[in-house]
């Protein structure tokens, strides 16, 4: 559609919709990377459950939709027992299939499987993993366009979430801070996506970093905790839920008393309690406290 500048000025645009704010915008390409066994699969399963059921994801707004999970990396006999430990969710389908060899076309039987999956008209498609879908040089900046375009042709109305692996650990110990895009291959894998996410170990827990964003504000890394290899929780969300409860119960009390009660409940300092309270009070909608950087 050809539009003049005046046409653009007259348009009324709404904030881009998300399936999970601020990580999965509608009709987007999302690149999620992290080390082997860092929790990428449990993270993606928890997202699939939240979207399929329409439930909030650790207090973050979620939009209900149909989910397709394409598994090419982990054999069904290995993945299914882990998935069975989780509570099932509606509107989620799994396709266990052999790796692809893009740009070469898949065998006819596999192509039939993918067409049947596309007929579901999923809103969100997870692809596990990126390295299992192509035979291209992942350092070639042209490779992302080939891979992303192929999946967009199959799922033109879907958000596509590609699960990826990091590059080899560099010899320089000072390299690889939280702001580094340390995935394997060309930077174009991130540049051609709308969202880039990194899941990294942080002590005994994990941190989910939003590196690349086109439709959301800057957010702090989300702390996550993985138990038994499948169950995810968020210590920060648990704290904020406690704070919200206290603020509702003590709405008419002076701020100093509310801070004291928060500090007692969280076993933290009064300064930390005040920061948590201010984050909640500054939030524009549930989960928006995530976008406010702590100082």
Q: Tokens 């039939």 belong to which residue? A: 112
pLDDT of residue 285: 63
pLDDT of residue 181: 57
Answer yes or no: do 77 and 139 share one domain. Answer: yes
pLDDT of residue 16: 72
pTM, 2 dp: 0.88
> Is residue 176 included in any domain, yes or no?
yes
CATH number at residue 72: 3.40.50.300
> Is residue 7 included in any domain, yes or no?
no
The per-residue pLDDT for range 119-160, each reduced to its tens digit, is 999 999 999 999 999 999 999 999 999 999 999 999 999 999
Answer yes or no: do 149 and 274 share one domain. Answer: no
- How far apart (Å, rounded) are the C-alpha atoms in residues 264 and 102? 56
Answer yes or no: do 270 and 213 share one domain. Answer: no
User: How many CB atoms lie under 10 A from the CB of residue 195?
Assistant: 24
Cα→Cα distances 6→10, 12, 108, Å:
6, 12, 49
Task: Give the end of a domain, one of 188, 211, 233.
Answer: 233
The per-residue pLDDT for range 152-198, each reduced to its tens digit, is 999 999 999 999 988 665 544 444 444 455 787 899 999 999 999 99
The token pair that represents 219 in the structure block: 């957010």
pLDDT of residue 206: 96
pLDDT of residue 295: 42
pLDDT of residue 282: 78
Spans of the chain, pLDDT less than 50: 171-179, 294-295
Q: Tokens 């994990």 belong to which residue? A: 206
Answer yes or no: do 248 and 129 share one domain. Answer: no
The count of structural domains within the chain is 2
Expressed as residue numbers, the domain containing 246 is: 237-291
- How far apart (Å, rounded) are the C-alpha atoms in residues 189 and 185? 7
């Amino acid at each position: 559609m050809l539009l003049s500048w005046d046409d653009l000025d007259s348009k009324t645009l709404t904030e881009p919709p998300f399936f999970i704010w601020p990580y999965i915008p509608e009709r987007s390409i999302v690149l999620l990377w992290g080390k082997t066994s860092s929790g990428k699969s449990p993270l993606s399963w928890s997202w699939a459950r939240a979207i399929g059921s329409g439930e909030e994801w650790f207090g973050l707004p979620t939009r209900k939709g149909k989910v397709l999970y394409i598994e090419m990396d982990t054999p069904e006999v290995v993945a299914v027992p882990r998935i069975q430990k989780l509570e099932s969710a509606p509107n989620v389908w799994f396709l266990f299939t052999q790796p692809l060899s893009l740009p070469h076309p898949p065998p006819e039987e596999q192509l039939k499987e993918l067409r049947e999956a596309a007929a579901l008209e999923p809103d969100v498609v997870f692809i596990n993993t990126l390295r299992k879908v192509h035979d291209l040089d992942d350092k070639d900046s042209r490779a992302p366009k080939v891979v992303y375009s192929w999946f967009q042709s199959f799922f033109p109305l879907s958000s596509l979430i590609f699960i990826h692996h990091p590059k080899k650990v560099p010899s320089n110990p000072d390299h690889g801070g939280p702001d580094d895009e340390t995935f394997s291959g060309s930077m174009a894998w991130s540049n051609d996506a709308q969202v880039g996410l990194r899941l990294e170990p942080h002590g005994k827990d994990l941190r989910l970093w939003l590196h690349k964003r086109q439709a959301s504000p800057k957010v702090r890394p989300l702390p996550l905790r993985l138990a038994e290899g499948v169950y995810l929780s968020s210590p920060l969300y648990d704290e904020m839920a406690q704070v919200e409860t206290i603020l509702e119960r003590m709405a008419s009390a002076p701020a100093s008393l509310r801070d004291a009660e928060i500090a007692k409940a969280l076993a933290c300092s009064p300064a930390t309690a005040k920061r948590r309270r201010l984050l909640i009070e500054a939030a524009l909608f549930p989960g928006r406290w995530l976008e406010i950087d702590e100082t």
